[in-house]
Amino acid sequence: MSIEEPSIFSKIIAREIPADIVSETDDLIAFRDIAPQAPLHLLVVPKTQQYRNVVELAASDPGLMARMVAMAESLAAEHSSGDFRLVFNTGEEAGQTVFHVHAHVLAGGVDEGTLAKPR
């Protein structure tokens, strides 16, 4: 258990705040981003908030990261054409605002101009 305050994503996992949840497994959840930047914009999030970013996740639990990628692939196939962009903002200067690791799954007409660089 983390001694940190629950992240906004942990509150979604606990159903303390609402979200449009599209998939859930024992260790992952996926829901629609509240501020979509593409026709399909989902977040795939581990239920644990112990990893602040993808670097920590990959170093500590590559299997969990692989399951995130597999969930992204299946959701892009289910909700769009199957092609997708997977984005892990890492660090404030790169646009990361929630320090509970999450993958952005973007599909259905990704805007090269806005998504290829940090917000």
When asked if residue 58 is in the footprint of ligand AMP (CB under 6 A), the reply is: no
Percentages helix, strand, coil for the chain, rounded to the nearest 5? Answer: 30, 20, 50
- List, in sequence order, the alpha helices (H) in 23-104: 54-60, 62-79
User: CB-wise, 22 or 61, nearer to ligand AMP?
Assistant: 22
Residue 107 in contact with ligand AMP, rule: CB under 6 A: no
Q: Which is nearer to ligand AMP, 13 or 80 (CB)?
A: 13
User: Per rule CB under 6 A, is residue 19 in the interface with ligand AMP?
Assistant: yes
Catalytic residue at 79? Answer: no
Cα dihedral value 48, 59, 90, 26, nearest 10: -20
Structure tokens at 24: 């859930």
93 contacts ligand AMP (rule: CB under 6 A) = no
Rounded CA-CA distance 41/31 in Å is 9
Number of chain residues interacting with ligand AMP (CB under 6 A): 13
- Which amino acids are annotated catalytic? 102
Which residues here bind ligand AMP, judged by CB under 6 A?
8, 17, 19, 31, 33-35, 43, 89, 95-98
